[in-house]
Amino acid sequence: MPPLPRIKLLEGDGEPLESDWHVVQIHLLDELVRQLWSGRTDFFCGGNMFIYYSLKQARSVLRGKPLYKGPDFFVVKEVDGTKPRKYWAVWEEEGRYPDVIVELLSPTTAKKDKEDNLRLYARTFHTSEYFWYDVETGEFAGFRLNNGEYVPIEPNERGWLWSRELGAWLGIWEGVYQGRRYPWLRLYDENGALVPTAAEAERQRAEQALQQAEAERQRAEQALQQAEAERQRAEQALQQAEAERQRAEQALQQAEAERQRAEQALQQAEAERQRAEQALQQAEAERQRAERLAQRLRELGYEPE
């Protein structure tokens, strides 16, 4: 695209969005894309921001009779996401147009979004994917560019629409965001998990940390119970060992007593043997004396009886 003459572009016209819901829904989409692509800086999200694509259109905005101002929300890929921007001027962005556009319908914008903008995004912007959502009626539709024309994206069984450009599903989620309960347009990852907001992600991290802490507490309690059981088993084993030691000591004492009794019996038997031997010796001595006496009597001429 050739450079256009330098003109001072408006950053906004001060007109409020159709409703508070529109403001919050745009903020939600911006937050979700940033969460989905956390850590990346090669994309730009714009919400309620002017897009300038031609000198004629830019001058119409300056005159207060804009041919077109900008979508409710858009995403441009493969650009410097760190560059500060207050509007998107195509000729200042190397001819880049949005890759994804989301329009939030209202009674005053629905016809234009479904007809004029549908043609503009397909034939001039060549935006790959275009989605619209009406919170009042629940109408939700998406289109993918094919040979210069938009073809409806078929919903899955949940009514979600797959965005190839985002690598995520878009679907309706009933819940509370920033204190407001609505059926919000949200993103789901390729596995069908809800892409969390920053607050939800922080809450999930806190819940996971709490669950981990509880798991650690339970593991510590189990370890303590196991240690107590081991201590009790060790104490029982010690008591059993002490009982065995006492029984062994008693058996040793009994064996010693038996040994002493046996030794005493042996000593008594030895004493009896010695006394018997002495008696035998005395008897032998008496026999020898009697024999000598008898011999003496025979020598004297007496025959002993």
Which pLDDT does position 305 carry in this prediction?
A: 72
Which pLDDT does position 15 carry in this prediction?
A: 67
Domain definitions of the chain by residue range: 20-195, 196-305
Give, in order, the Cα–Cα distances in Å from 87 to each of 70, 82, 92, 112.
Answer: 9, 14, 10, 21
Angle between helices 198-299 and 20-36 (to 10 degrees): 50
With 90 as the cut, is the pLDDT of residue 70 above it?
yes
Both tokens of residue 237? Answer: 């084993």
Question: What band does 197 get if pLDDT is binned at 50, 70 and 90?
Answer: very high
Predicted structure pTM score? 0.72
- pLDDT tens for 261-288 read 988 988 887 888 888 888 888 888 888 8
Quote the mean pLDDT of the chain: 92
> What phi and psi, each to the nearest 5 degrees, are found at residue 166?
-85, -20
Both tokens of residue 254? Answer: 């009994």
The contacts of residue 144 (CB under 8 Å, 6+ apart) are 128, 129, 150, 151, 153, 164
- pLDDT tens for 174-194 read 999 999 999 999 999 999 999
Chain centroid, CA 191 distance in Å: 17
CATH 3.90.1570 correct for 20-195? yes
pLDDT (average), residues 109-123: 97
With 70 as the cut, is the pLDDT of residue 18 above it?
no
Q: Which residue has the higher pLDDT, 77 or 292?
A: 77
205-223 per-residue burial string, b: 16 or more CB within 10 A, e: under 16: eeeeeeeeeeeeeeeeeee
Question: What band does 295 get if pLDDT is binned at 50, 70 and 90?
Answer: confident
Q: Within the chain, where are the H helices? A: 20-36, 55-62, 110-114, 116-119, 198-299
Residue 7, helix vs strand vs coil: coil
